[in-house]
Structure 1
Amino acid sequence: MRARQKRVNGLAIHSVLIALGIVWVYPFVWMLFSSLKTNTELIASGIKLLPEVPQWDNYNRAWTEANFSGYFQNTVIITVATVVIVVLMCALTGYALGRVQFPGRKLFVIVITATMFMPKGYTILPIYMTIKYMGLLNSLPGVILAESSGAHVLFILLFMSYFYKLPNELEESAEMDGAGFWRTFRTVMLPLSKPMIATTAIMQFIWTWNSFFVPLIFTMNNPDLRTLAVGMYAFVGEHSVDWTGMAAAAVISIMPIIAVFVAFQRFFIEGISGSVKG
């Protein structure tokens, strides 16, 4: 009797979770099928999914006429460069905070942690002025520096927690082999932190790929340097909106994120669970 009740409870829980999963996934599925409709059919079909005749030309229109091929290239360059910079800087900072004892270390951790609660809008002006003085406005390097700027406190704390729990024998063995601070970090500590690198890379990839505010501000006078998120403006006209073209562009934009997460989800889960255990 108890086993039967347990099976019933399990079936009820799974049924609720499946229903919630369908509700969660449905908007994406609807967007996917909407990208294959005409604008008239999209407006008239409501929540109907399947198109009468698939309009694959929507993707061609988004890729060529709306210049999403150029926006895609800009987004890849900005995202990859930003991820590399953020991973290296956060790993180095986390290693120093996790392994090196220096005066004011705890105070420094408290101060940078407090910056997590500061809205990014408050820091965009000094970042903008810095990029302007460097002569990098309306350029890809300027956008990359703006995206990779900031404390990235969450990633620093994740690396710090991970490096802190590693045994001291690793550094002692490296020192016996004549390795200094940088060589120990590069050849011993960094390779051991692959789960944290994957976690940081995936999260930063998603944030940078979907970033709208920073690319909009720093490419305002050069539309050719827009990213995919900012490029959505191309489908909004003065008196009309190309909804199906926008849906096709959204599918193009989101597919790389899904691919990256699926490919590296194991490392992402290991990194999160490792930081929690630490």
Structure 2
Amino acid sequence: MNILVLGGTRFFGKKLVELCIENGHNVTILTRGQSGNPFGTKVKQLVVNRDDANALSQALSGTTWDIVYDNICYSPNEAHQLSKLLDGKTKKLVFTSTLSTYDINSTVKTEEDFNPYNYEIRMGEREDFSYGEGKRQAEAVLFKEATFPVVAVRFPIVMGENDYTRRLHFHVERILQDQPISFPNIEAKMSFITDEEAAAFLYFAGITPIEGPYNATATDAISLQDLMRLIEEASGKHAKISLVGGDEQSQSPYGIPADWYMSTAKAEAAGFTFSHLHDWLPALVKTLVKELK
């Protein structure tokens, strides 16, 4: 198949491209070129800033795709532009969405908790919205405007050794350095997924006939308190936890006021089997502790 990946040079986007190559597909990556091309001649690269509508239109002129993966769409304007440019050019779009489309209110989230098909659209750029609202708006635009099948994959926080956001790294480093970490609710539970499993589900979403929104996360959830204990056990250090206030530098990037995790029943019914969070998280924590000591 001919596959186009928007944003495929780092983290789970890179894993997705590697998976497509391994399965013998013809892969093109579309990037700004800032992260280079880690795949060499195994892929074709289009160096384009997606915010430049004319350049993006020119880059996609005369192309057709079996699957397009968009990992870097954050606003309704970007979604609208892409849905127009891909009209008649692709058989399917897989859009990377987020757990942030759901409210944080301690209930286990199912896909029905956010319905993009009847969500009111407000056009704008990414800076006009919060991260979660930008993704909600992008989903709504794609599902209402696209003339081709669309899958919106709602990921929680993605973890991995090569996470450029370094969110898990933050906690490991603060504990190793005896620095405080502040949480609004350390008993709150969260969902997580690895970069490899995120890539695997994106690939699955592209090659199977599913459409619509799908949650994708490792099964089960973990409290932030238990996550800190994993780091303490792996490092032999005691975490300095603050539950009230704290300066900006100490605030956990995982800080949430209540449980925030998802059900994967819909994806599992479609045929995908997810890993169990506790089968890989302790090993990842140990690896990061060893690397960062």
Q: TM-score band (shorter)?
A: under 0.3
Bigger radius of gyration: 1
From the two aligned structures, give the one with the greater helix fraction. Answer: 1
TM-score, normalised to structure 2, is: 0.20
TM-score, normalised to structure 1, is: 0.21
From the two aligned structures, give the one with the greater strand fraction. Answer: 2
| Bigger RCO (CA 8 Å, 6+ sep) | 1
